Amino acid sequence: AIMKSEELFCLLEEHGPRLANDKFMPNSDVDGAPSRVLRLSIESMLEELAPNLWEHSLERLLDFGHCVGQGLEMGGLGTGHELMAGEA
């Protein structure tokens, strides 16, 4: 979200903890945040992966999260703020 979609980043910043806790279930009939976050996430991933299905180039924007995420997950070990693999 940080690298690809300002809208997705803002939605996650505002609703992320609630969406994770509620397993992306809407909290009312007019709560569009869960479906919008999922739609933007899927669209962003498809835009990134579709032109390179056979991985002719390994320079992919989505790998940025793998570089940063592992450090965040390891840094939280034993601190009371631990993250499971993939949560960062």
What is the 3 state secondary structure string of 6-69?
HHHHHHHHHHHHHHHHCCCCCCCCCCCHHHHHHHHHHHHHHHHHHHHCCCCCCCCHHHHHHHHH
**Residue 18 pLDDT:** 95
pLDDT along the chain (88 residues), means of 10: 86 94 95 96 89 84 73 85 75
**Residue 88 pLDDT:** 66
**Residue 17 pLDDT:** 93
